[in-house]
Each structure stands twice: as structure tokens, then as C-alpha cells.
């Protein structure tokens, strides 16, 4: 998966859930700046742990972030 693809999926899911970046970061227990980098495509290869926390916070399976 390309970083740009992950960034689009993350942003779309977050916005569909009506969450701000701050709210999602808090819910997933990741730094807001890290989430910003993921959504902008500046951060590549997030750990599986981070992906799991983001997926859980968004209420989707991890595979949805990776498709």
C-alpha cells in the first residue's frame, strides 16, 4: 500500500465518523502530529500496532486501512 493511499483512506474514514484529527489521535492513543503525517503521506510504514489502534478507534477492521 502506498502512503498516499493510506492517507486518503484514513482521512475519509475519520471525516465519515465526524472526528477531528485531535479526537482520533486521542481515541487511538497516537500523537496528533503523527496522525497528521500519516494523513499527509509524509509518514510511511506505520507499525501494525498503530494501524490496529487507528482501526479500532475508527470502528473498522485493519484490512480496511490496508486495502
| Predicted local confidence at residue 48, as pLDDT | 94
Does 15 score more than 70 pLDDT?
Answer: yes
Using an 8 Å Cβ cutoff, are 36 and 25 in contact?
no
As a whole number of Å, the CA-based R_g of the chain is: 10
Is pTM beyond 0.75? Reply is yes
- Sorted by where each starts, the structural domains of the chain and their CATH numbers stand as 3-66 (1.10.260.40)
Cα 54 to chain center, whole Å? 5
Whole-number pLDDT of residue 4: 80
What is the average per-residue pLDDT within 8-25? Answer: 96
Confidence band, pLDDT 50/70/90 cuts, at residue 62: very high
CA distances, 10 to each of 2, 28, 34, 67 (Å): 12, 12, 12, 11
Amino acid at each position: 500500500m502506498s502512503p498516499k493511499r493510506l492517507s486518503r483512506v484514513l482521512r475519509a474514514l475519520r471525516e465519515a465518523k465526524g472526528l477531528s484529527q485531535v479526537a482520533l489521535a486521542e481515541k487511538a492513543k497516537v500523537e496528533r502530529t503523527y496522525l497528521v503525517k500519516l494523513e499527509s503521506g509524509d509518514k510511511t510504514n506505520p507499525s501494525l500496532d498503530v494501524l490496529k489502534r487507528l482501526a479500532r478507534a475508527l470502528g473498522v477492521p485493519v484490512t480496511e486501512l490496508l486495502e
